Amino acid sequence: MSEKRKTLDKFLESFEDIKRVEFSEGEVVLEEGSKIKTIDFLIEGNIYISRNLKDGKRVIANNLEAPQILSLIEVLNGEDEVMSGVFALNKVAILKVQKDEFLNKLRGGELRDIALEYLSKFSYNIIKNSIEYEEYEVEKAILKYYLKISKGSELGIINLKNAFVADMFRISERTLYRYLNSWEEKGLISRKKRSIVICDTNRKKICEFLDK
């Protein structure tokens, strides 16, 4: 267990009103525009954060792994609504604490270091991911995304819905299916019913493909 997780666990023990909620792969963890009643601590799993403008432009697109603090940016800026949608990329566990209790502890200085570390890493990761994905054409960006998710998935199995991934990269499902069929023919992935499987051999081939 990381030092960051140990510090977070110790801090969470001090809350009086705390609730554990679990989400399955593909489920909505936080809905964009919903009222913020709790601060949510991601303690297990990986999430995807996304926000789209009315013209369809995506201004936030980031993958995060536990531990994380959700809705922190909004609350610290005095916002009452969730700024961006949060989706589970695998099995996710969240600990919910009341917003007022969280703010009281934050004012007392108990959480300040954890909050600052989270905010700095969140901002850095958004910039880094944006640069990384802009370097690749869409097909390679999607493949790189699958590669990243497979590393945190048991046996390299990915069960994300194609509609979700297509929307994430703003392409049609038909285009995504075309990519999947092509990758399977090249030995970059294999498929098991509706799941995508990326084994160690596949990973090596994917890295070679991305470097071309």
Question: 137-164: per-residue pLDDT in tens?
Answer: 788 878 888 887 787 666 788 888 888 7
Q: Do domains 3-133 and 136-211 have the same CATH topology?
A: no
Residues facing residue 95 across a β-bridge: 20, 41
Predicted confidence at residue 3, as pLDDT, reads 64
**Residue that wins the pLDDT comparison between 61 and 150:** 150
Pick from 28, 72, 75, 23: which is nearest to 50 by CA?
28
Residues facing residue 48 across a β-bridge: 63, 87
**Residue that wins the pLDDT comparison between 93 and 104:** 93
C-alpha 131: how far from its chain's center?
Answer: 17
**Interatomic CA distance for residues 183 and 190, integer angstroms:** 8
Domain spans in the chain, listed from the N-terminal domain onward:
3-133, 136-211
pLDDT at residue 122 above 70? no
Tell me the pTM. Answer: 0.60
Query: What is the CATH architecture assignment of 136-211?
Result: Orthogonal Bundle (1.10)
In this structure, whether the domain defined by 3-133 belongs to CATH 1.10.10.10 is answered with no
Is residue 91 within 8 Å of 65, Cβ to Cβ?
A: no
With the CA atoms of 105, 109, 111 and 117 taken in that order, what torsion angle do they form, in degrees rounded to the nearest 10? 150
Confidence tier at 58 by pLDDT (50, 70, 90):
low
pLDDT over 70 percentage in the chain: 75
Residues facing residue 22 across a β-bridge: 93
pLDDT at residue 62 above 80? no
